[in-house]
Amino acid sequence: MSSQDDQHNGCGAECFGRRVFLRDAVAAAAVLVGLSALTPMQQLSALELRRASGLVHYPIPAADGVSIDTKNEVILARSKGEMFAFALSCPHQNTAIRALPGTSGFQCPRHKSRYQPDGTFINGKATRNMDRLAITRDGATVVVDVEKFFQSDEQPKEWVAAVVKL
Ligand code: FES
């Protein structure tokens, strides 16, 4: 991610630091407890088709559910005819967010912030919704820009628009 992109996204060095922190935390935890214990959602990396310039293509799942791409730190969710891509890290202090059973939403394991299936904040220590990544449809796939994410408090219009209607 370039510093220009950081500025465009309104997050500067904080974003880079957050991604590095999260990546290191995930790697360390994976060594200690095993990746499956850390990421209870379906692993998505095998479904990744290609990545170029920050763009990652994912097949559109046939049914509602949540998957995770730990390599690119993306949560991909289908819920009630809509597709969302979220940053894996909690907007409070960057802990990897987990999916609640079924499509009932998300919860951060660190301070228990809870979010609706569309990423809307419900309660807890976080002060904004889950960060959404830019997402578009391309035929039977969705294309996620892993370098461009939107914070609901600073970019509310972009956050609302970051959805694919199926
Ligand atoms: S780090 Fe997620 S609620 Fe604090």
For the stretch 143-159, pLDDT in tens is 999 999 999 999 999 99
Polymer length in residues for the chain:
166
Q: How many domains is the chain partitioned into structurally?
A: 1
Distance 161 CA to ligand 1 centre (A): 25
pLDDT attached to residue 104: 87
**121 vs 18, 39, 56, 138, 150, CA distance in Å?**
19, 20, 26, 29, 14
The rounded Å distance from CA 52 to ligand 1 centre is 31
**Tens of pLDDT, residues 76-112:** 999 999 999 999 999 999 999 999 987 789 999 999 9
Task: Collect all residues with Cβ–Cβ distance below 8 Å to 136 and sequence separation of at least 6.
Answer: 142, 143, 164
pLDDT of 25-43, one tens digit each? 444 333 333 233 333 445 5
pTM, entire model = 0.74
Question: What number does the ligand 1 atom closest to the CA of 126 have?
Answer: 3
Among 21, 26, 89, 93, which residue has the most ligand 1 atoms within 8 Å of its CB, making it the best to mutate? 93
Residue 160 carries which side chain, given as an amino acid letter? V
Helix (H) or strand (E) holding 43: strand 42-43
Higher pLDDT, 104 or 21: 104
| Token duo for residue 90 | 């909690």
6 Cα: distance to centroid of ligand 1 (angstroms): 22
Residues whose beta carbon lies within 6 Å of some atom of ligand 1: 90, 92-93, 95, 108, 110-111, 113, 124-126
> Range of 145's domain?
3-165
CATH assignment of the domain containing 99: 2.102.10.10
Condensed to tens digits (0 to 9), the pLDDT of residues 115-145 reads 999 999 999 999 999 999 999 999 999 999 9
